[in-house]
Structure 1
């Protein structure tokens, strides 16, 4: 029966990508001067697993690279070769090549064959340098192995053919193969060579050794017959061989030694029994560990994201249906319809639990994003001649998968800016009394219904005067009396850049405006805090999910709007004396010795209200990034879960509106963009 392997390709692609990410993480964290053996073993296992999978699916290009990489890592983890920084750089380059090859097979993208060849040659050069650097050691080792092999009995014989091999390479090949067994003969042709090797190793062992010196496609291995090993026991009787079991103790020992022999035999038996018990315990523990590992492995399952999205959409429709049922039954007599109302309440609880459980499937840890940056920080800092210590906090904090994928590019730009513009050169930092290495941190934490992500550096900070000067050159309306927070927001203007030299890292004024636009489209806000000489912190606040949220239904005129509950602090009916008018600036409301801007929603959306006097309506206090405001509405309708529908893709962008939802009565209600409303009154 033929098995269709194509159905398993996607599983291999996903696992290989995870293994490559793990390899990069381990390589970046390894201590070159004193590497942890467990780290080296873990790096080796990633290469070995990728090689095994690539070989299974017939991906020869990946197999060749991982084979050389695996063999080199094996030498390092066994202590046969010292790990160096050059090794780490080469392994990271090999990881990049494997990722490119993986994308080529999965996405059909182009693969740079020259880059692949360069990396393979780089990896092979390390072994040749090791051999050439220690010729006497190799010679001594070969002599030692040859002496050791003289009395050894081999069970396999191979003819190893090499094409396009030079004299120097052939000498190295002979030396390497002699470590595996006995080289019986060597024949040299004009452009080829043949070595006959007797060994107890396998074809893979031979290939692993030879691939360091020659390309795999230039090596052909054929198995040969080997003479049967002569059994020295032939011709002896069973009694001589011990098949009569054992000689009596009296025959083995003199009479006076018989008692001592019995004592020694008893002690040996007791010792063997103790060892057997210990081994049994170890075997049981190993079996239990394997059982536990098997349980862990079977506790996860790979599911396509499209299936999860389909379930979430169905749950969204279920939430809407449940809201409709709740609204239809709210006017029923609770006595005569007790069982029906109880069932509806039970359905409401189950629907909410189901919704939370399904939404948790889409939640992914921020480590999915954070793990991309250590390599980028390392390479960029090296390129710019800077020293950067990169740390992360809250990598386990979870965010909706859709948002995680969209936040990668904005964060990448912010991290690159911090390294390029923020952190100073080592000499400049020392002159300023700082440490030679700059510190760049990336953190994520939950705050209410949002996730707050911060990119923080201890560099030179933003230059207020330079930003204002550049803004004037770009024709922006600015003044010296602007607050720092307003000045910092200028860097998000299109085409804005303070870089004096345009490089491939930055300086073209493209990026920061895109960063802010992308974050705003996700329903988030971005804020900047900076102090000259002390560094800059950029804060991004995003909703945890864009699919389903808890909302407060508010009424303005005859319209019903949804206010996301995560922004609501409190609601109240204000007194007339607490409302003050500011000439030309609108009104404010006094809440516990604090004056907040008052936002009449009927003015924002041009609606005929029921009340124009705030003291007759309801005021809802909302907060975004520590900034508060009061929304003036006619009435509060209630609190409910709503399914967010994208209105921009189906209609167009509406100022102050982030989406829409379907109410229990089948009507459509708009969801307020609280952050945009607060920005409109600043």
Structure 2
């Protein structure tokens, strides 16, 4: 077995540990740090150090060791936290992330950056405590010696003494029995070879179902367990103390403590319990009872918690995304096949094929349940996205000299993983925009009667078949007059009677910025137009609500997934098309008096005192044999990019869920079309892009206006 097979597991788990470390560092109260948070940060660094040493990532191991020492001094109260010290820890965390990425790419980390962070951490220790850290940095075999600072803790000493492990500071060595469960012979040899790095192997026994290694070592159970769990699953590993007296805890002393702490239990019973714990033949499934008044042995704790740990390990599994995508694609094909069969059965005589009809009904229900179950595999909570912003807000607020509180809501709301990865950049732009343009400086806020600390809220919630994400600040809000003046100076068409919603949409124009001066945060007019394009590319749209002096809310509406679409089937001529149901507002029969031809051959339709641009689908897509008289068509009112349009189609067929197929991958980009699907009869139907369809229709109409009127405009009265 090549140990490099486990690299990806280490990389993924180290990424999670670094994420936990950053989260705890950002949540720390420097005036009254929480002990549990400090311990969690220390444990994350300790685990990464052990794994890095196992896989030979020496630079990562050494950097983590320096950080680990400082964190250990911090949790013992020897290093008093300040904001700048937390900043240094965050900088070290960023460096660990860079080193991890380098190893993942098969490269060595930047030596200059490594030397710089090492000097920073060492200098911090000298300045704050007058101590040197890192001189005892481990070599190629990490965790071969327990950390002295760990051994100095009474709690750690107590744990190690009771588990039969020395304190790592010159005491007697401990003897451990390490059981490997369900490991194949060829893989077991490598694991035993790895265990030899921790000490001397005294005995080996057992078979592939349970293979025991008796190890004489000065390394703590925690360290061994931490390193081995990067290679095997937790339920495949059991570690217990193999000899109490050898660990420096005489049985007599233990029995005395037992007698003193519990008068109801005799010294003889205490000796009996300890003797059972020391027996090599004693299995972890039958742990010795811990004496009252003393902490339970580490091995005993692990044995008792084993059923729960095993259940937790079996509750999740790491699967590459491409495998999930393959399953989703196959389920999509199954749904298409089921639709074909369903259509065939519907054309049969129900009296002759009753059993077949019932079977198809059951297949349809099961196929839908299977589809929903498989789609849920791709769903990840929005916390995956929101967890990236506390650090951004903290650093940017400090750079802008503002006080900002970040609040997140709806972190458990789930979204397709492919969308969560693509929404991060747009959200980053919106957050930076709120911090720079929205939230005022502390002095301005105080003068306006507000708290000196601004509030930025990120929230997510389900809304029908979509997800609604909001970025809300309690800043100064958008200034209508300033936006109109800036738009006019940039040559953007405006009107004094524009609605507020239309004015707010001006900030999405390319090159548009209201910043008074260019900085490294904003002012170049790059960002908001990209936000809008990216969200539209995901099938969503952006809305803005703002009140001057009270704040701004940017709302992003996205489909839950891009793989399955709720659609409205429409017919134009002999062609079938699909409209995303999320864009459809209503449908109606046009009246001649409601249709008006405008200058430039544009045509609009009046719907409840609102004039909507008319898009004739047959004209935009050159569909033959379609209805050209508007009053004989059906107008489907749709919304895209914050605007409403009236699409003229021949007929409405009905609603259905369709499996989305990428048209560019399988064919090429087609104007007015976002994707394609396969219908129940095996034919291909194009999924329309409402906004692009309007642009395409307008372009064609302008091209025809030079020579003649459009067929649509010819039939209407001005």
Instruction: Please tell me the TM-score bracket, short chain as reference.
Output: 0.7 to 0.9
Partners of 1:201 and 1:90 lie apart in 2 by 38
Q: 1:41 to 1:201 in 2, by over 3 A?
A: farther
Mapped contact 1:448–1:566 kept (Cα < 8 A): no
Counterpart for residue 641 of structure 1: 657
Partners of 1:490 and 1:108 lie apart in 2 by 46
Counterpart for residue 485 of structure 1: 501
Counterpart for residue 199 of structure 1: 170
Select 1:119's aligned residue among 117, 120, 123. Answer: 117
Mapped contact 1:556–1:607 kept (Cα < 8 A): yes
Select 1:54's aligned residue among 47, 52, 55. Answer: 52
Select 1:415's aligned residue among 417, 431, 448. Answer: 431
Is 1:539 aligned to residue 555 of structure 2? Answer: yes
State the shift of 1:562 in Å: 1.3
Deviates more, 1:517-526 or 1:596-605: 596-605
Q: 1:15 to 1:178 in 2, by over 3 A?
A: closer
Counterpart for residue 351 of structure 1: 367
Partners of 2:408 and 2:613 lie apart in 1 by 37
Mapped contact 1:452–1:541 kept (Cα < 8 A): yes
Mapped contact 2:660–2:676 kept (Cα < 8 A): yes
Counterpart for residue 87 of structure 1: 85
Q: 1:616 to 1:470 in 2, by over 3 A?
A: closer
Q: Structure 1: which 5+ residue stretches go unaligned?
A: 136-159, 163-174, 181-196, 208-228, 230-241, 243-263
Q: SS of 1:445's equivalent?
A: strand
Q: 1:359 to 1:31 in 2, by over 3 A?
A: same
Q: 1:594 to 1:507 in 2, by over 3 A?
A: closer
State the shift of 1:24 in Å: 0.4
Partners of 1:439 and 1:349 lie apart in 2 by 47
Mapped contact 2:402–2:441 kept (Cα < 8 A): yes
* Residues 303-314 of structure 1 mapped to structure 2, 5 A cutoff: 303-314=319-330
Deviates more, 1:631-640 or 1:54-63: 631-640
Task: Encode CA deviations 1:528-580: one digit per residue, 9 max, x unaligned.
Answer: 22222222221111111111123232212211111233444566x65969x73
Counterpart for residue 588 of structure 1: 606
Mapped contact 1:450–1:544 kept (Cα < 8 A): yes
Counterpart for residue 212 of structure 1: none
* Residues 514-553 of structure 1 mapped to structure 2, 5 A cutoff: 514-553=530-569
Partners of 2:524 and 2:619 lie apart in 1 by 40
Partners of 2:266 and 2:610 lie apart in 1 by 83
State the shift of 1:420 in Å: 1.3
State the shift of 1:621 in Å: 5.6
* TM-score normalized by the length of structure 1: 0.74
Q: SS of 1:199's equivalent?
A: coil
Task: Encode CA deviations 1:23-55: one digit per residue, 9 max, x unaligned.
Answer: 101100111111221111111111111111111
* Residues 238-257 of structure 1 mapped to structure 2, 5 A cutoff: none
Partners of 2:46 and 2:444 lie apart in 1 by 45
Partners of 1:619 and 1:400 lie apart in 2 by 32
Partners of 1:178 and 1:542 lie apart in 2 by 53
Q: 1:443 to 1:677 in 2, by over 3 A?
A: farther
Q: SS of 1:83's equivalent?
A: coil
State the shift of 1:388 in Å: 0.9
Instruction: Provide the aligned length of Structure 1 versus Structure 2.
Output: 571
State the shift of 1:95 in Å: 0.4
State the shift of 1:623 in Å: 6.1
Mapped contact 1:549–1:643 kept (Cα < 8 A): yes
State the shift of 1:656 in Å: 4.1
Q: 1:597 to 1:586 in 2, by over 3 A?
A: closer
Counterpart for residue 41 of structure 2: 43
* Residues 394-405 of structure 1 mapped to structure 2, 5 A cutoff: 394-405=410-421
Select 1:106's aligned residue among 101, 104, 107. Answer: 104
Counterpart for residue 382 of structure 1: 398
Partners of 1:595 and 1:660 lie apart in 2 by 31
Select 1:268's aligned residue among 263, 272, 291. Answer: 263
Select 2:575's aligned residue among 559, 579, 590. Answer: 559
Q: 1:45 to 1:179 in 2, by over 3 A?
A: closer
State the shift of 1:650 in Å: 4.8
Partners of 1:477 and 1:550 lie apart in 2 by 36
Partners of 2:500 and 2:630 lie apart in 1 by 33
Select 2:346's aligned residue among 318, 330, 334. Answer: 330
State the shift of 1:510 in Å: 1.7
Is 1:14 aligned to residue 22 of structure 2? Answer: no
Partners of 2:94 and 2:137 lie apart in 1 by 32
Mapped contact 2:541–2:642 kept (Cα < 8 A): no
* Residues 123-522 of structure 1 mapped to structure 2, 5 A cutoff: 123-132=121-130, 199-200=170-171, 268-269=263-264, 289-522=305-538
Partners of 1:161 and 1:484 lie apart in 2 by 62
Partners of 2:40 and 2:527 lie apart in 1 by 38
Partners of 1:161 and 1:409 lie apart in 2 by 39
Mapped contact 1:589–1:598 kept (Cα < 8 A): no
Partners of 1:594 and 1:177 lie apart in 2 by 73
Q: 1:536 to 1:676 in 2, by over 3 A?
A: farther
Task: Encode CA deviations 1:650-677: one digit per residue, 9 max, x unaligned.
Answer: 5555454321111122211111334666
Counterpart for residue 716 of structure 2: none
Partners of 1:206 and 1:116 lie apart in 2 by 30
Q: SS of 1:482's equivalent?
A: coil
Partners of 1:619 and 1:285 lie apart in 2 by 70
Is 1:667 aligned to residue 683 of structure 2? Answer: yes
Q: 1:596 to 1:492 in 2, by over 3 A?
A: closer
State the shift of 1:389 in Å: 0.8
Task: Encode CA deviations 1:189-246: one digit per residue, 9 max, x unaligned.
Answer: xxxxxxxx98338999999xxxxxxxxxxxxxxxxxxxxx9xxxxxxxxxxxx9xxxx
Q: 1:288 to 1:200 in 2, by over 3 A?
A: closer
Partners of 1:278 and 1:176 lie apart in 2 by 26
Q: 1:335 to 1:505 in 2, by over 3 A?
A: same
Partners of 2:149 and 2:576 lie apart in 1 by 80
State the shift of 1:117 in Å: 2.3
State the shift of 1:15 in Å: 0.8
Mapped contact 2:569–2:656 kept (Cα < 8 A): yes
